[in-house]
Amino acid sequence: MATSGLNANDKNSVSPPLWLLAELTYRCPLQCPYCSNPLDFARSQQELTTEQWIEVFRQARELGAAQLGFSGGEPLVRQDLPELVRAARDLGYYTNLITSGIGLTDDKIVLLSDMGLDHIQVSFQAADEEVNNMLAGSKKAFAQKLAMARAVKAQGYPMVLNFVTHRHNIDRIDRIIELCIELDADYVELATCQFYGWADLNKAELLPTREQLQRAEAVTQQWREKLAQQNHPCKLIFVAPDYYDERPKACMSGWGSLFLDITPDGTALPCHSARQLPIEFPNVKDHSIEHIWRVSGGFNHFRGHDWMPEPCRSCDEKEKDYGGCRCQAYMLTGDAANADPVCSKSPHHDLILDIRAQAQRTISDPSRLVYRNEKASQAIIARG
């Protein structure tokens, strides 16, 4: 891979990419209809080799990266995961495996722990076996996840569980939290679906109503109070969808600010959804990480504030939210430079109001969900 040819001034002008996400593969045995992977992931068959990944880790660490997440697809599909974990540990990263638990075994957990893996997050689709397996597109997924969550804890890791909530499971949030307590979880992320990739395709079937969301938040708060009274260590983190907010999220804490995502084929992105934008993003096979982060057009496109049109340009909140999410602006308005339509100051905010109204009118029908799999991705590619 290339090395950088920057001068000292260039090198000092941009903060380091503290958070490196390695999307090792788009292969995954599950088919979640809310997966944030690109709709055309089937196009991307090439994956970086073990040596190329380790070189990415080395260069990013040199630039200041400290946290490394192994993600995908399902990262356990990569047979070289233990080797990659060892290399990351030797470089001094704090490492996190983000997994569905499918493909994990007791022996693999021990091996990954021996290689120096710091943290494992296991995701569930629901607390009910039938719903979980329906959403995962696998009859065996739930039992495997339960066994592996317990095995992760038995190996001495904190139990970190992630549930993506949406219209089809959010009314069972009580049961989700009960399951987490039964499993002796330490941290639970109850993350309401955000609408990128396959989730955006399935938005009408996934977006909860405002009432569903408010009830779920209230139930979570009641559980927090109950757990606090019992001095229970489990922390419940509730992430609401920004579609019901009046201000957008500070997406990635700012474009090219601290987050660096490397996709399976080596394309470098400032967030995992950015590939859909009409911007040319660099590849680690052609450029050094330093060039990608500090100099490349893709990473400088929306850095800072100079690119902002009104109303963000003269807004006194722009330091807080950076104008929101560029992908959301692009998906909803066709122009990634627009203010995120979630913002009530955006001239496009009516698009969000329409989506909320549509959610109120929708009568759920899970048979309309499009599952994320190779066949569906090929069909989407063929349709253009």
Q: Which residue blocks in 64-209 are alpha helix, DSSP H?
A: 81-91, 106-115, 129-136, 141-154, 173-182, 197-201, 203-206
Candidate list 339, 352, 359, 380; residue touching ligand SF4; CB under 6 A: 339
Candidate list 170, 177, 234, 312; residue touching ligand SF4; CB under 6 A: 312
Would you say 234 is a known binding-site residue? no
Using CA atoms, how far apart are residues 196 and 167, in angstroms rounded to an integer? Answer: 16
Nearest CA among 71, 90, 93 for reference residue 81: 71
262, 240, 190, 120 alpha-carbon torsion, rounded to 10°:
20
Interaction between residue 200 and ligand SF4 (CB under 6 A): no
Distance of closest approach, residue 342 Cβ to ligand SF4, in angstroms: 8
Stretch of 10-18, 153-161, 232-240, 314-322 contacting ligand SF4, by CB under 6 A: 314-322
Distances in whole angstroms, Cα of residue 382 to Cα of each of 39, 244, 373: 12, 34, 14
DSSP state of 116: T
Asked if 156 contacts 130 with a C-beta cutoff of 8 angstroms, the reply is no
Where in 165-194 is the site for ligand SF4 (CB under 6 A)? Answer: none
Would you say 32 is a known binding-site residue? yes
Stretch of 110-118, 258-266, 289-297, 313-321 contacting ligand SF4, by CB under 6 A: 313-321
Helix 141-154 / helix 129-136 crossing angle, nearest 10 deg = 100
Interaction between residue 282 and ligand SF4 (CB under 6 A): no
Site size for ligand SF4, by CB under 6 A?
Answer: 25
Nearer to ligand SF4, 37 or 273 (CB): 37
Burial label, 155 (beta-carbon count in 10 A; 0-12, 13-18, 19+): middle
Stretch of 107-115, 232-240, 269-277, 309-317 contacting ligand SF4, by CB under 6 A: 309-317
Stretch of 4-12, 44-52, 186-194, 316-324 contacting ligand SF4, by CB under 6 A: 316-324
Stretch of 4-12, 23-31, 254-262, 268-276 contacting ligand SF4, by CB under 6 A: 23-31
Distance of closest approach, residue 192 Cβ to ligand SF4, in angstroms: 14
Distance of closest approach, residue 2 Cβ to ligand SF4, in angstroms: 30
Asked if 168 contacts 364 with a C-beta cutoff of 8 angstroms, the reply is yes
Distance of closest approach, residue 337 Cβ to ligand SF4, in angstroms: 11
Where in 207-266 is the site for ligand SF4 (CB under 6 A)? Answer: 247-248
Using CA atoms, how far apart are residues 322 and 200, in angstroms rounded to an integer? Answer: 22
Candidate list 20, 21, 25, 37; residue touching ligand SF4; CB under 6 A: 37
Please compute Rg for the chain using Cα positions. 21
Asked if 112 contacts 97 with a C-beta cutoff of 8 angstroms, the reply is yes
Nearest CA among 192, 320, 302 for reference residue 247: 320
Cα torsion angle, 206, 133, 131, 223, sign: negative
Would you say 35 is a known binding-site residue? yes
Candidate list 343, 352, 369, 380; residue touching ligand SF4; CB under 6 A: 343
Measure CA of the first residue to CA of the last residue in the chain; give whole Å.
32
Interaction between residue 298 and ligand SF4 (CB under 6 A): no
Binding residues (CB under 6 A) for ligand SF4: these are 28, 30-32, 35, 37, 72-74, 100, 247-248, 311-312, 315, 317-318, 321, 323-324, 339-340, 343, 345, 372
Query: Binding site for [4Fe-4S] cluster, residues?
Result: 28, 32, 35
